Amino acid sequence: MYIEIFGRPNCEWCEKAKELCIEKGVFYNYINVYRWGKEEFLAWKAINAPEWNTFPMVFVDEKLIGGFNELEKYFEPR
């Protein structure tokens, strides 16, 4: 499982997503999208997460699953 969390500074939900991964013992990669230029971010978002408009944007194995709530549900026992 490979988790990427695309977030922004001072985002409570981004921090919670990172903390949840740590709690579950799962490696994640955090990407601060504010380090990108606005055009670069919007171009990336148009391709990778056009329907998602909040932070964080969480990807599992390169597939967008949603934000913090969806990540929390992903980790629930099945």
Rounded to 5 degrees, what are φ and ψ at 43? -65, -45
Q: What range does the domain containing 46 cover?
A: 3-74
Contact 28, 51 (CB under 8 A): no
> What per-residue confidence (pLDDT) applies to 58?
98
Count structural domains, the chain.
1
Is residue 78 predicted with pLDDT exceeding 90? Answer: no
Q: What is the pLDDT of residues 7-65, one digit of tens each?
A: 999 999 999 999 999 999 999 999 999 999 889 999 999 999 999 999 999 999 999 99
User: Of 26, 17, 3, nearest to 56 (Cα)?
Assistant: 17
Assessment of whether the complete model's pTM goes beyond 0.85? yes
User: Of 73, 30, 70, 35, nearest to 52 (Cα)?
Assistant: 70
CATH of the domain at 41: 3.40.30.10
Residue 59 makes CB contacts below 8 A (sequence gap 6+) with: 3, 4, 5, 6, 48, 65
